[in-house]
Chain A
Amino acid sequence: MGGRKRRKVKLLSARVADDKRRTRMKKKAMLEMQTWSDLPLELLHLIFIRLSLEDNIRSSIACKRWNTAAISVRVVNQSPWLMYFPKFGNMYELYDPAQRKTYSLELPELYGSRVCYTKDGWLLLYRPRTNRVFFFNPFSREVVKLPRFELTYQIVAFSCAPAFNTCVVFTVRHISPTIVAISTCHPGATEWVTVNYQNRLPFVSSIWNKIVCCNGFFFCLSLTGWLGVFDLLDRTWNVLSLPPPKCPENFFEKNWWKGKFMLEHNGDILVIYTCSSECPIIFKLHRSNMFWQEMKTLDGMTLFASFLSSHSRTDLPGMMRNSVYFSKVRFFGKRCISYSLDDCRYYPRKQCHDWGEQDPFENIWIEPPEDLSSFI
């Protein structure tokens, strides 16, 4: 406002001056116009697309024109939703931690099944009575069946949405400490393929193991923190000679091994170790140097940890950044239990956090539909 006014005043005063000076002033005003205030929005877009979300927000209040340009290219990602699996009945609740809203869905298709894994908006489920394994998209209601397979209390994961031909379902079960049975399947297959592999290092499977697929490898974290890697291309299995992440002594004393989570972010493997109300510790796998590095910051990223699968997001709304969101909602749906790496504390405080002892099949973080209007 001030600037524009000032320019007007200048032009007015120029009017009283001689003609020559007036034209010079006008010309100068013209030139100014041609620089920044007059640039097409497309040109501003070219700059804004190179800015982080924070820089975009700050630049957006430089002036009104910039505000328009910045908002039109601003990318704010959607938070995953926490999906609850009821003990009885067909009503499934979904909680959006960003909007703090709960939605309900009636899904009779899931009758008698338990959840195994989720990725890209798809659930993988298992119906113990019939040994049926199937994919289900709760928003489009699509079902993709897989051949029957008997799953014990073991962890299963898949690489990507079942529509892709690279989709592989993977599970690992130990036969002896040095022999594992790896079973894989894919949509359209008539049966599961099971192959036994010998480990040089002991590897034990349990319901507390975690599996993540990343760049053609399934990473499998054992209860004690050893990492087995299955190469999808070569179909080889290898337990890495990488010592488990180093946690403080008190983590060890208090059953620390159960309350942990693993996820992938841009090709990096991250694990989160929790222990009661102690601050969680996050490690990143350095694959070239083969060590677990503790992360003191998430650089604005947000992690969503649930027993069966965990996810990462960037560019979420401010208060959710640099935090780990756990799969528990408090205060009658008002907020998730989260841990902020900026403040080094849980929100809310004074809650009992035994993430290792929760019911594995109670809830899971799932990607919400892109177009909410069709769903709500």
Chain B
Amino acid sequence: MSSSTDSPTLTTETTQLSPQPDTETAKPTKKITLKSSDNQIFEVEESVAMEFATVKSFFEDSPSTDTVPLPNVTAKPLSQVIEFCKEQIKFKANPDEAQKKKYNAEFVTEKSDKDLVDMIPVANYLEIKDLLDVLNQAVADRIENKSVEYVRSFFGIDNDFTAEEEAALRREHAWAYEGVDED
């Protein structure tokens, strides 16, 4: 700090070594375009896109492309997944397990049942393991001690058992259907 004579020379050297464009334009502006199945365009930083294993391998196969079509992913869950990954990158730069845990917990608590359920196939398709773990646990927590009917409506499942089949299955483990939470 006190050596005022040294520092100016140092700064000039660094600016000479790494000129402005490299730090300010090239790195941060490297953006990747993701296109959802409902034709929405998402421009995300490369580092975020590389969190998606599927997108990463897509780029490895065809590096010249600038738009990645995601035919299995709609805009809403995609935007939420991007939001999650942006945060995870911050934690990668500054590891803070407690903060990360807190963020992950908040991320799922503020989501609706539908949002969670819609994000799971997306996280699976894009191969984002951390997010998949967080979502699966959140979903498991939300259906804890709930009735069969609740589980069906939670995931939007069509019951393909006949009434007789279902009754037989219920008889087999009658104890498991007692004392469930009110829906």
Contact of A66 with B by CB under 8 A: yes
Which residue of chain B has its CB nearest to the CB of A35? B121
Decide yes or no whether A87 CB sits under 8 A from chain B. no
A-B contacts at CB below 8 angstroms, number: 98
| Residue of B120, B137, B147 most packed against chain A (CB within 10 A) | B120
Do B159 and A57 touch across chains, with their CB atoms under 8 A apart? no
Cβ B140 vs Cβ A50 within 8 A: yes
Residues of A within 8 A of B166 (CB): 61
| Majority secondary structure of chain B interface residues (helix, strand, loop or mixed) | helix
- Whether B161 lies near A43 (C-beta < 8 A) is no
Query: Could you tell me which residues of chain B, from 125 to 183, have a CB within 8 Å of some CB in chain A?
Result: 132, 136-137, 139-140, 143-148, 151-152, 155-162, 166, 169-170, 173-177, 180
Q: Mark B114-129, 1 if CB is under 8 A from A, else 0.
A: 0001101100100000
Chain B proximity mask over A218-262: 1 for CB below 8 Å, otherwise 0: 000000000000000000000000000000000000000000000
Instruction: Name the A residues within 8 Å of B170 (CB-CB).
Output: 61
- A54 and B173 CA atoms in complex are apart in Å by 9
User: Do A1 and B160 touch across chains, with their CB atoms under 8 A apart?
Assistant: yes
Query: A31-B37, A58-B146, A61-B170 given as contacts; is B140 within 8 A of A51 (CB)?
Result: yes
Q: Mark A1-26, 1 if CB is under 8 A from B, else 0.
A: 11110000000000000000000000
Chain B residues, Cβ within 8 Å of A50: 136-137, 140
Identify the closest chain A residue to B170 (Cβ). Answer: A61
CA distance A58 to B176 in the complex (A): 7
Query: Do A66 and B176 touch (CB < 8 A)?
Result: no
Contact of A66 among B140, B145, B157, B175 (CB under 8 A): B157
In the assembled complex, the Cα of A57 lies from the Cα of B162 at a distance in Å of 17
Given the complex of chains A and B, what is the CA–CA distance between A362 and B77 in angstroms? 63
Contact at B120–A43, with CB atoms within 8 Å?
yes
* B40 in contact (CB, < 8 A): no
A-B pairs, 6 with minimum CB distance: A3-B158, A318-B175, A50-B140, A57-B176, A54-B176, A57-B173
Identify 11 residue pairs between A and B in the complex whose beta-carbon atoms are under 8 Å apart, listed by A's number: A4-B160, A43-B120, A43-B124, A47-B136, A52-B144, A55-B140, A58-B146, A58-B176, A62-B159, A67-B161, A67-B169
Q: Which B residues are within 8 Å of any A CB, using their own CB?
A: 37, 72, 74, 117-118, 120-121, 124, 132, 136-137, 139-140, 143-148, 151-152, 155-162, 166, 169-170, 173-177, 180
